[in-house]
A and B are shown apart, each in its own frame.
Chain A
Amino acid sequence: NAGVTQTPKFQVLKTGQSMTLQCAQDMNHNSMYWYRQDPGMGLRLIYYSASEGTTDKGEVPNGYNVSRLNKREFSLRLESAAPSQTSVYFCASTGDLNTEAFFGQGTRLTVV
């Protein structure tokens, strides 16, 4: 059982480049999330998708877009990367209300 799979694990971008972070879960979960983790800041929610076909902004959505491609997949896109987007990105999913979150291994992104 793979759980939540994120790709890539590492990425270096130049300022202004674009990229898409991929996330897939095989647990038939309805809700999926993208967080970023920065030193001293904990996890901050970027975007989430409560169910297939819906997406909503989280705490720090600026500079990002998302797509809930189907129930399994939830991608995060950076259209024009900036150094401030250097971070570790985590995808997560949850099943029913008030149940635990399952996390991917993370993507370490550096924008130079």
Chain B
Amino acid sequence: GDSVTQMEGPVTLSEEAFLTINCTYTATGYPSLFWYVQYPGEGLQLLLKATKADDKGSNKGFEATYRKETTSFHLEKGSVQVSDSAVYFCAPSGGSYIPTFGRGTSLIVHP
């Protein structure tokens, strides 16, 4: 079945620092790839997605590129803000169609 490996958290950064959260996956077929964000006390919501190799998903300054050759979908942001503090989940959706989530990476941004 599908599986995801995300870097362990928490990731602690100062405001305006550069962010990378690594994600690698295994999936059957040709999956779409998603990043979700969970703010405190809320459910997960879609942050960005990519549906085919070399696609770049982007939203709110975050970006991730679908790398089929390395089965990776790393999340990046050039300058984080305190409001970006949340838990981030990488999720492939492949042949099994059931959304599969990594353990999540907690991001803490200090002023």
Residues of A within 8 A of B (CB): 4, 31, 33, 35, 40-43, 45, 48, 50, 58, 90, 92, 94, 97-101, 103-106
Contacts and interface: CB of A to CB of B under 8 A. Distances in A.
Given A42-B89, A98-B31, A98-B51, A48 B43 contact: no
A27 B69 CA distance: 35
Contact of B97 (A58, A90, A97, A105): A97
B32 A98 contact: yes
B14 interface: no
Contacts of B91: 101
A73 B23 CA distance: 33
B93 A99 contact: yes
Nearest to B94: A98
B44 A94 contact: no
Contacts of A48: 98
Contacts of A97: 93, 97
B67 interface: no
Nearest to B105: A42
Contacts of A105: 42-43
